[in-house]
Structure 1
Amino acid sequence: MKILYFELSKAAEKHPDKIGYSDKINKYTFSQLLELCNNLIYFFKDIPKKSKVILFDVNSVLQYLLLCVSSVIEITYIPLNPWFTEKDVKDILLTYSDSFFIYGSSFRNVNIERIRESLCSSHIFISTKELHEKKQQRNIKIKQRKVESKLIFHTSGTTGKCKGVIYSIQNLVRQGIIANHHLNITSLDNYLNVYPGSHYGGVTAKIQCILANASLYDIPYPTPLIISKTLIDEKITFFVAVPTIWTQLFPFLKLQNKSNISLRMANIASDKITKELMEEVMEYTGAVSIQGYGTTECGLATLHNYKHNIIETGNVGKPLPGYKIILVDEETYQPIKGKNLKGLILIRTSIGMDKYTIDIPFKISKNIYLTNDIGYFDDENNLHICGRLQSFAKINGFRVNLDDIDSFLKQEKQIMSKTVTMEIDSKDKIVIFIESNTEIQKDEIASEIKKSLGSIYEPYDIIRVNKFPRTNETNKIKIGVLKEEFYKQFQQGNKL
């Protein structure tokens, strides 16, 4: 099993003067990274086993280094989203008591001193500046031994409920090895990362580069101009971004001569990738763009061969080693066998997350994970994603279960409702239809939903109908008719 610290040591020995990490302000060679890592190890060497280390910072070298530290010192590493509010940070500290809290200095909306004063627990607060300035012994010897460190992502993920996703560092490393092999990431690559260090993509980018001895370029605050400049100046060869970033980049890339672009792979990360977008990305970059499929809880589970650019919407390639895709009936969960037959996607893997920090039914059984996505295998055994369970939707990047709203209204308010998503301004919004012969208090209902289920469930609109339109055969609610009613009222300007 590869250990991140020793992979960094190898890189420092083989490529001492090569840039290993850059955050656009500072550049560090592999030998400098190893020296900084040894400083951190010396700082943490006497802390209690399984201590919690919380890092609240934008993309920085500390995130890179703490991954290496966690491979030789048993800690629970918790990177926080840089967009967290002061309340978010305080709640995290209350959840993980007696932790080492390392914080950056560029958060205008978060008063660290106020948080420190309001907490009675014995957290150790230390700024990133203080940590860098500490003088520590650097010539230390690290023994190769089994270390069971953890990393916790804070995400809503598949269920739409805020939680921590707990991974072992070893499983993240295993995923990185598989991804590097199938994406052909080597020491010759310059990898550009625009995900925050608290995001699965931001963490795995660092792990993949450490394993491959590749150069990693982090952009703390990515803008199209900075990204395009970095692509050219640093001769970036590998880049992954969401569709929004790609479309914002196109005007800048159009101005570039393709000979100035070094990209060999330009991938799109999204559950909605169109053929047109992939063609545009490849046209403007001259790089290959391939599709894959995975979740935060499981990692990258399928991928096309990096030598081929199959640009068919929803075609996400074959299962990777260590992963098995199982298709089952949506209601009975009985396996579906055969080609071109749609089913609910389950992922079987032994290198996924360990558990959640809260009790959420996500695993069907040991090592089998529920995705709520619908797909099928074609004749060449490529997985195709063709949607998700009707009750699940993605709102502002978070998956939510629409049935939660209907269940809440029925149980708490004795209201019969049907919750759907509607596309408004190219984004999915939550719209609730309520069956009632009398007027309803829209604002009050919306407020209670937000308070009880969370802000992500707050409806865009609530519409009253006298009676739900239903089919004659099965008595199911006609969703299409309800949506037509919404668009009619929307055009008339009648909105919550």
Structure 2
Amino acid sequence: MDLCHLIDRNAAFAPDKPAIHFEGESLSYAAFSVRIERTASALKAEFGVGRGDRVAILSLNRPDYLVLLYACARVGAILVPLNWRLAVAEQLFILTDAGAKVLALEEAFSGVIPELDRSLPGINLVGLDFAPPDGSTFDSLLECDNHDGRNPHADLACPLLIVYTSGTTGRPKGAVLRQEALFWNGVMSQHMHNLTSDDHVLTVLPFFHVGGLNIQTTPALQLGATVTIHSRFTPEAALASFERDRPTLTVLVPTILQAVSDHPGWGAADLSSLKAVATGSTIVPPHLIERFVARGVPVLQVYGSTETCPIAVYTRLGGDLSRAGSTGLPGLCCEAKVIGADGAEVPPGTPGEIAVRGPNVFFEYWGDQDATRDALHDGWYRTGDIGLCDDDGYFWVRDRKKNMIISGGENVYPAEVERVLLEHPDVSECAVIGRPDPRWDEVPIAYVIPRSGRRPDADQLKAHLQAQLARYKVPREIVFVADLPRTALGKVQHFLLKKLDAQSRAQGEVS
């Protein structure tokens, strides 16, 4: 059995039931199943895609994103979702690192094609909404119905996703998730949300994140529920969908919780169809939870990461939601614990590193045995997040991964920004930290030591960064300094720099 088997069975039980709503149109489970089968057939026949081959996608949310996911499951291939907010240079690195055989993309992101012609000339292009030069259209793939799209060697043990996370070493790492990880993640989502085939999920988070793809979307499709997809989030569209589409569940990260509840239409919006809203990705401000609870909508918290598919720890609908700030209990199908520096579990109430083990945990980092070895110990994934657990087993996350910045729900790793900054001839040394921001939670700030005899310009450095990195990764401010706080071995102490930045702002020295 492969993951696509669940779609086929739902199509058999309820062929006419809507699987996906998108931009005023519906795709039934029967039509969804046929579309997957034809896409899988075309991947095999047209491009020779088989078990282990990588198929990348660069697109906003759309039904064929999910069609491609399940088609890959059927043939045993691996989908590589690309973050459309990344710079072309970042996207090229991922495509090259993954060794993608096929790239499906929207016309809005066709700017990557000229670079592909130079660096990856052998890749097969498929236009989701246009005809790329020397490529195919997705509609033409759907005409392929003379071949069997199944692979008898594809099963739940096959890798299905490579999701790249910004790397602490300055380059992103590809977390490999097997089909079984999505299956068991789906079981935990069902437990968390009391999810049934009668539910209706609204998805506004991007599919290139495991949160948008796997907290509710794929679990709902595994059960035969209905999913409404938005191509991208806007507060107006979300509020309108609450009233028009009547979803029962949705996932909103804290920045989206704030955007929706700050919107002028919030007070009059009809939220009565929602049985719960799930949130996570960062520590959730209590006042945002209170806004929804005051409107009669329970807020469930979920903790996890790309490497856990992402569900690992959560509060459950109908469970104990009274423990303020708690992200809940370990999931139904996995284990979690808090460990000390020696790897041993620490007593309740003692802060330490959160570790997770279970069938939802990633298999490896693509092509990076050292990083895999560092992260996985006897099946336990060491998250790098600091938290504690009480006597009843409830978790609290106290700090985020070392040095990581979360800006508007997006992960920014300082090492990645620093790597690009150091490529500029005017920069001798640098360090990037997160600064609290009322709208984005945090924004990156760069401290730069100029090269001797150089006088770099902040705007020029930002332009240099924007050419290679996504806009949200570019520092909001660049501060020029003579030195940086360091350890005895000369390593920059980011946590101390963050404290100094806060002190400077408090004293009015940094605007």
- Post-superposition offset of 1:469: 12
Q: Look up the match of 2:275.
A: 264
Q: Look up the match of 2:127.
A: 127
Q: How far apart in 2 are the matches of 1:206 and 1:389? A: 26
Q: Look up the match of 2:180.
A: 170
Structure 2 residue corresponding to 1:400, chosen from 399, 404, 413: 413
Higher relative contact order (CA 8 A, sep 6+): 2
Q: In the superposition, relative to structure 1, how do residues 392 and 58 fare at CA in structure 2: closer, same or farther (>3 Å)?
A: closer
Q: How far apart in 1 are the matches of 2:437 and 2:316? A: 36
Instruction: Classify the secondary structure of the residue corresponding to 1:22.
Output: strand
Q: Look up the match of 2:144.
A: 136
Q: Look up the match of 1:488.
A: 507
Structure 2 residue corresponding to 1:255, chosen from 260, 268, 283: 268
Q: How far apart in 2 are the matches of 1:272 and 1:197? A: 21
Query: How big is each residue's C-alpha offset from its partner over 1:32-51, in whole Å with a ceiling of 9 and x where there is no partner?
Result: 11121221122134424322
Q: In the superposition, relative to structure 1, how do residues 113 and 344 fare at CA in structure 2: closer, same or farther (>3 Å)?
A: closer
Q: CA RMSD in A?
A: 3.9
Q: Identify which range, 171-180 or 136-145, moves more after superposition.
A: 136-145
Q: Look up the match of 1:82.
A: 84
- Post-superposition offset of 1:229: 1.3
Q: How far apart in 1 are the matches of 2:333 and 2:415? A: 32
Letter in 2 for 1:343: G
Q: Look up the match of 2:380.
A: 368
Instruction: Classify the secondary structure of the residue corresponding to 1:208.
Output: helix
Do residues 462 (structure 1) and 469 (structure 2) align?
no
- Post-superposition offset of 1:5: 2.1
Structure 2 residue corresponding to 1:430, chosen from 430, 440, 445: 445
- Post-superposition offset of 1:253: 3.1
Q: Look up the match of 1:233.
A: 244
Q: In the superposition, relative to structure 1, how do residues 34 and 139 fare at CA in structure 2: closer, same or farther (>3 Å)?
A: farther
Letter in 1 for 2:111: N
1:98–1:122: 8 Å Cα contact kept in structure 2? no
1:182–1:306: 8 Å Cα contact kept in structure 2? yes
- Post-superposition offset of 1:151: 1.2
Q: Identify which range, 137-146 or 482-491, moves more after superposition.
A: 137-146
5+ residue gaps, structure 2? 130-136, 488-492
Q: How far apart in 1 are the matches of 2:83 and 2:427? A: 38
2:191–2:316: 8 Å Cα contact kept in structure 1? no
5 Å matches for 1:44-123?
44-46=43-45, 47-49=48-50, 50-97=52-99, 99-105=101-107, 107=108, 110-111=110-111, 114-115=114-115, 117-119=117-119, 121-123=121-123
1:192–1:217: 8 Å Cα contact kept in structure 2? yes
Q: How far apart in 1 are the matches of 2:256 and 2:396? A: 24
- Post-superposition offset of 1:117: 4.0
5 Å matches for 1:336-375?
336-357=345-366, 359=368, 361=371, 362-375=374-387
2:19–2:27: 8 Å Cα contact kept in structure 1? yes
Q: How far apart in 2 are the matches of 1:469 and 1:155? A: 27
Give the number of the structure whose alpha-carbon radius of gyration is greater. Answer: 1
Q: Look up the match of 1:3.
A: 2
- Post-superposition offset of 1:263: 0.5
Query: How big is each residue's C-alpha offset from its partner over 1:145-193, in whole Å with a ceiling of 9 and x where there is no partner?
Result: 6432431112216766422222112222221122223321111010011
Q: Look up the match of 2:397.
A: 385
- Post-superposition offset of 1:68: 2.0
- Post-superposition offset of 1:200: 0.6
Q: Identify which range, 159-168 or 294-303, moves more after superposition.
A: 159-168
Q: Identify which range, 336-345 or 389-398, moves more after superposition.
A: 389-398
- Post-superposition offset of 1:326: 2.8
Q: How far apart in 1 are the matches of 2:453 and 2:506? A: 20
- Post-superposition offset of 1:138: 7.2
Q: In the superposition, relative to structure 1, how do residues 171 and 159 fare at CA in structure 2: closer, same or farther (>3 Å)?
A: farther
2:248–2:274: 8 Å Cα contact kept in structure 1? yes
Q: In the superposition, relative to structure 1, how do residues 85 and 306 fare at CA in structure 2: closer, same or farther (>3 Å)?
A: same
- Post-superposition offset of 1:264: 0.4
Q: How far apart in 1 are the matches of 2:11 and 2:416? A: 53
Q: In the superposition, relative to structure 1, how do residues 191 and 124 fare at CA in structure 2: closer, same or farther (>3 Å)?
A: same
- Post-superposition offset of 1:73: 0.8
2:304–2:312: 8 Å Cα contact kept in structure 1? yes
Instruction: Classify the secondary structure of the residue corresponding to 1:430.
Output: strand
- Post-superposition offset of 1:116: 5.4
TM-score after normalising by structure 2: 0.79
Aligned length: 473
1:372–1:389: 8 Å Cα contact kept in structure 2? yes
Q: How far apart in 1 are the matches of 2:404 and 2:54? A: 34
Query: How big is each residue's C-alpha offset from its partner over 1:220-240, in whole Å with a ceiling of 9 and x where there is no partner?
Result: 022111111112211100011
Instruction: Classify the secondary structure of the residue corresponding to 2:311.
Output: strand
Q: Look up the match of 1:13.
A: 12
2:16–2:30: 8 Å Cα contact kept in structure 1? yes
5+ residue gaps, structure 1? 471-475
Q: Look up the match of 1:41.
A: 40
Q: Look up the match of 2:220.
A: 209
- Post-superposition offset of 1:312: 4.1
1:263–1:287: 8 Å Cα contact kept in structure 2? yes
5 Å matches for 1:247-326?
247-250=258-261, 251-258=264-271, 261-284=272-295, 286-298=296-308, 299-308=310-319, 310-326=321-337
2:385–2:402: 8 Å Cα contact kept in structure 1? no
Letter in 1 for 2:30: S
Letter in 1 for 2:43: F
Instruction: Classify the secondary structure of the residue corresponding to 1:248.
Output: helix
Q: In the superposition, relative to structure 1, how do residues 466 and 489 fare at CA in structure 2: closer, same or farther (>3 Å)?
A: farther
Structure 2 residue corresponding to 1:187, chosen from 190, 197, 214: 197
TM-score after normalising by structure 1: 0.81
Instruction: Classify the secondary structure of the residue corresponding to 1:262.
Output: coil
Query: How big is each residue's C-alpha offset from its partner over 1:306-339, in whole Å with a ceiling of 9 and x where there is no partner?
Result: 103625443011111342223233xx33424322
Q: In the superposition, relative to structure 1, how do residues 87 and 110 fare at CA in structure 2: closer, same or farther (>3 Å)?
A: farther
1:63–1:79: 8 Å Cα contact kept in structure 2? no
2:426–2:455: 8 Å Cα contact kept in structure 1? no
Q: How far apart in 2 are the matches of 1:305 and 1:98? A: 38
Do residues 155 (structure 1) and 165 (structure 2) align?
yes
Q: Look up the match of 1:473.
A: none
Q: How far apart in 1 are the matches of 2:483 and 2:167? A: 35
Q: How far apart in 1 are the matches of 2:437 and 2:79? A: 39
Instruction: Classify the secondary structure of the residue corresponding to 1:185.
Output: coil
Q: How far apart in 1 are the matches of 2:56 and 2:252? A: 26
- Post-superposition offset of 1:346: 2.1
